[in-house]
Amino acid sequence: MRLLLDFVVFSFLVSSTFAAPAKECAYKIKEEIASPPGWTKRSKAPAGHLISLRIGMPQENFHQLEKQLYEVSDPAHERYGQHLSKEEVEALVAPHPISLSAVNDWLNGFDLKEEDLVRSPAKDWITVTVPVKMAEKMLDTTYHIWKHTASGDQLVRTTSYSLPSNLHAHIEVIQPTTIFGRFRPDKSMISIIEDAPATVVSDGSQISAGDSGITVDASCNTTITVSCLKQLYNAVGVVGSGASSIGITGYLGQFANIQDLQSFYADQVPAAVNSSFTFESINGGLNSQNLSQAGGEANLDTQFAFGISSPTPATFFSTAGSPPFNPDTTTPTNTNEPYTDWLDFILKQENPPHVISTSYGDDEQTVPQSFAIRVCAGFAQLGARGVTLTSSSGDHGVGDGNPNPATQECFTNDGRNLTKFIPTFPASCPFITSVGGTTHIPEVAVSRFFSGGGFSNYFARPLFQELAASKYIASLPKGTYAGLFNPNGRGIPDVSAQSDRFRVFVGGRIESIGGTSASSPTFAGFVSLLNDARIKAKKPTLGFLNPLIYSLGVSGFNDITVGHNSGCGTTGFNTSVGWDPVTGLGTPNFQKLKEIVTSF
């Protein structure tokens, strides 16, 4: 089964070699985009500005990796749970020697030596840092400084680049070139930050959680705590044994404060007081412990993911780097999306955490499809190794990143300016479990902000989701949103969890935070507990989760049938019985899921 689009077919590599050195071949456009809406071209980029080019070569046997990924992730397959080793994965994504030779010759033509290059373990990526002047020669292009009209952010980018014609078969993508994503804190899916009461007041009364038969403390309808989540999702008294592991990604100067974590534990998870997490710095990423620099996003993610799964070993990854270009600084600026730097790091690790959550993303269309496919392939490598990845589905319904639905401009950036719903990436990658948002008890799709959802324009609908998504689309009244979404695309999200009024400690203050930022680490925390149950039963970790949850796991979710996800001047999609592009399959019932995942 082939999910990713436009991968190069390699049969020609067996019988052919490139005909001439790269310098003797005419350049031909490799990738070209229209001028991105909302951005204005300013001046030429400074010739001496350093830019880190990431060169992605074709992964010759990715189709084999994908096949094996589905085999080890499908509970009906005899290979279920037989995850691949780091070395096995690297062998499957390694480029063909002819591609390596062709690209090496091309780089040598610019006097770039091996010591100038940084290669990924599988050698499918090469990173080289060069001045803009050299990058322009290498790619036969001109870089400019582009300014985002609404925010003032600036990027060094081009709208077209070329390669020698004989290299097109040996290089899939080079970035940063045509990527105009805005990977920044206001894209990190946090929607609400408010002061919260010093204490949670409970009179002991209970409210029904709905058809599950579960009752929850009434205070949980105004404030969400770890206790509320464990009550709501049928995991009261469940704690980790330390057998599993969990990780949280942090970007853009979002620091997880340990003092705040201790305050959170004292308030909500007393048994975890004096425990902490392992800190991993990537590309010089920091984790300042100055209370004034505590990050709402980082604290939300770590406090709830680690609080739910405690005492599971936990890791916080801080990745340095930010796309916006600062013309007033003389220091090198890494203008790649920082999650690719995180991928570089995590794929090198022998034992990455068993489940990892991220709460950051971009509008899918701002990430060139060729680049999105390669990043998604990196997530597939982690899944094949037994790592579960969860990601926020977004906070703007079917709309773009504009937090005000009334002013969203949902237009394609391909030069045609067509009105379209805007899915998010990396949530649209089929190898990630995308997590939408709910609120209130009984649960409904979140309404104060909007659970991101819809259908990918880049990734075809995977087989594991075909039945559920096709049934939903067939239920839509004829002509509903015709032309506004891709009816054959991968559906978003896969599942949901509470995402509003989370009680978080930030910089010594107590705040109420909402967003699918909250739902992704919450769901990851419960997946970690499921991994713990499987390990105790002498079974392997869950790894890539989606084939399981869309088959045997369906009965382990609380179906959400009230709500919608407005955006683009519409009410968006409605929830329904079964899967829907608002809340996915629903929210977890831990005990049911535990029974399912320990039964095979």
For residue range 208-237, what is the model confidence (pLDDT) as tens digits? Answer: 999 888 999 999 999 999 999 999 999 999
Active-site residues, by number, are 297, 301, 517
Annotated binding site for Ca(2+): 559-560, 578, 580
Annotated binding site: 559-560, 578, 580
| The pLDDT of residue 198 | 85
Distance CA 191, CA 381 (A): 31
Distance CA 275, CA 265 (A): 9
| The pLDDT of residue 10 | 40
In this structure, what DSSP letter does residue 23 have? G
pLDDT at 185 over 70: no
For residue range 381-415, what is the model confidence (pLDDT) as tens digits? Answer: 999 999 999 999 988 899 886 766 666 779 999 88
Q: Which domains does the chain have, with CATH numbers?
A: 13-60+95-180 (no CATH), 207-326+333-597 (3.40.50.200)
Amino acid identity, residue 539? K
Which of 79-88, 270-279, 404-413, 462-471 is the least confident region? 404-413
Supply the DSSP string of 378-427, one letter for each residue. HHHHHHHTT-EEEEE--SBTTS-S-S-GGG---B-SSSS--B----EETT
Mean pLDDT of the chain: 91
pTM exceeding 0.85:
yes
| The pLDDT of residue 299 | 97
Give the confidence band of 321 by pLDDT, cuts at 50, 70, 90. Answer: confident
For residue range 255-274, what is the model confidence (pLDDT) as tens digits? Answer: 999 999 999 999 999 999 99
- Distance of alpha carbon 181 from the chain centroid: 14
| Residue 531: its H or E element | helix 516-536
For residue range 504-529, what is the model confidence (pLDDT) as tens digits? Answer: 999 999 999 999 999 999 999 999 99
For residue range 143-169, what is the model confidence (pLDDT) as tens digits? Answer: 999 998 888 888 899 999 999 999 999
Percent of the chain with pLDDT over 70: 90
